[in-house]
Amino acid sequence: TKSNLRFVAVSATIPNPMDFGMWLSSENNDSVCFNLDDSYRPVPLKKVVLSFNNCIPSTTFKFDMNLNFKLTNIIAQYSSNKPTLVFCSTRKSTAQAAAHLASQKRFVLSDGPRAQLRERANGIVDARLREVLP
């Protein structure tokens, strides 16, 4: 018989992987879900979650833009000059955050990594994201 084997890789940002695994099951086949905790990571992961209130009545766009202006200092405070991930809620807010961070010019790359990044940037379809790379 033919086996229809599927692999689904899920990011660590899914809060309910077991529910997701059950959702992928069918009447005839149960899915197998592996929920790996941080002890499986070869390099420890430092997680920082910050919350900001939108005190002034405004649009989501204005709130996102306000948060972008906080990013540079937040990254400087928590990154210890190491690679940092910033999660944004939409593609548009990702492009806006990247453009803002690039405009700050506080995060400087040496020539080798800059050349690698520029080479890979040529493959990026989204022109706005491609433009923010050094």
pLDDT at 12: 65
Chain center to CA of 89: 9
Average pLDDT over residues 17-46: 78
pLDDT at 81: 80
Average pLDDT over residues 21-46: 78
pTM: 0.60
Burial of residue 68 (CB within 10 Å: 0-12, 13-18, 19+) is buried
CB 34 within 8 A of CB 40: no
User: Is pLDDT of 35 > 60?
Assistant: yes
Chain center to CA of 117: 17
CB 64 within 8 A of CB 93: yes
pLDDT at 22: 82
pLDDT at 1: 47
Average pLDDT taken over every residue of the chain: 79
pLDDT at 77: 92
13 pLDDT band (50/70/90 cuts)? low
Both tokens of residue 88? Answer: 């944004």
Give the span between the Cα atoms of 115 and 102, in whole angstroms: 16
User: Is pLDDT of 2 > 60?
Assistant: no
Give the span between the Cα atoms of 51 and 100, in whole angstroms: 20
SS3 34: coil
CA dihedral 121, 124, 127, 132 (to 10 degrees): -40
pLDDT tens sequence across 57-102: 677 778 888 888 899 899 989 988 888 888 888 888 888 888 888 8
